[in-house]
Amino acid sequence: MHDVEYHTVCYLRDLLLTPAHSDPEVTAFLGLWVYQEQWHGEALAAVLAAHGEASGMARIEPMRSRLGWKDRIRPLLMTFGGWLAGEDFVAVHMAWGAVNEWTTQAGYSLLGRRARHPVLSELFGRIMRQEGRHVDFYASQARARLARSPRAQRLARFALRQFWKPVGSGIMPEAETRFMAEYLMGDEMGQSAARRIDRQIDRLAGLARLDLVTSATRESVAA
C-alpha cells in the first residue's frame, strides 16, 4: 500500500498524456487526488519507519528502478490509447479508477479489521474518508460518461476484462500481490467484500457480470 500510494504521481503522468488533460473538471480532481495519495504514502511510511522497515524514498527509488522498460513504455501506450479512443478514453479511465478506488478502500477496511490496532485503525479511517471522495468522483463520472456512450461501454468492458488486475499488480512483485490478496480477501469476509465491489461494477452501464474482483482474488489465492 505504501509503494502504490507513492506511485500515484506516475499514474498521473500517464493520464495527462491522454484526452483527460483537456477536461478542467477531471484535472482539478486529479490535482487533489495525487496530493492526497502522496500523503497517504507519507503516513504509511511513518508506520514502516516506526517498525524499522525501509520506507519513503529509500524504498520507492529501488522499486521504480526495478520497473525498467515497463515504466518507460507506459506513457507511449497511454498516448496511443488516448489517441485511438478519443474522448471515450476518459470514460474508460473513470471506470478503471472507480474499480481501483473501490478495491483500495476495501483493502484498507479489511486490513484495519485484521490489525485491530488503535493507531492503525485511526489512520486507516482517515485514509478511507479521503479515498471515499475519490470513489465518489470516479464512480459518478463513470456512470455519466458510460451512460451516454455505447462505444465507451464497449471499450471499458474490453479494457477491464482483458487488462485489469488488482491495484499495484503492475509495479509490485507477483508474490507480494498474491500475499496481499490471500491475506486480505482469502476468507469469507474478504470474498464478501469482493462480491460487493463486483455488484457496484455491475451497476455501471455496459459492465454487468464481469466478476472482476471475485475472479482476481480467487485466482490469486489459488495460485
Domains of the chain: 2-222 (1.10.620)
Distance, CA of 198 to CA of 31 (rounded, Å): 28
pLDDT digits (tens), the chain, 223 positions: 999 999 999 999 999 999 999 999 999 999 999 999 999 999 999 999 999 999 999 999 998 888 888 888 988 988 988 888 899 999 999 999 999 999 999 999 999 998 889 999 999 999 999 999 999 999 999 999 999 999 999 999 999 999 998 888 888 888 888 898 889 998 999 999 999 999 999 999 999 999 999 998 877 666 6
Distance, CA of 52 to CA of 54 (rounded, Å): 7
Grid look-up 482476481 returns 216
CA dihedral 75, 73, 9, 3 (to 10 degrees): 160
Q: What CA–CA distances, in Å, run from 148 to 91, 142, 145, 153?
A: 10, 10, 6, 9
Instruction: Select from 126, 64, 63, 132 the least CA-distant residue to 104.
Output: 132
Distance, CA of 91 to CA of 144 (rounded, Å): 9
Cell numbers that stand for 3 in this block: 509503494
pTM: 0.93
The DSSP symbol for 18 reads S
The DSSP symbol for 52 reads T
pLDDT value of position 211: 95
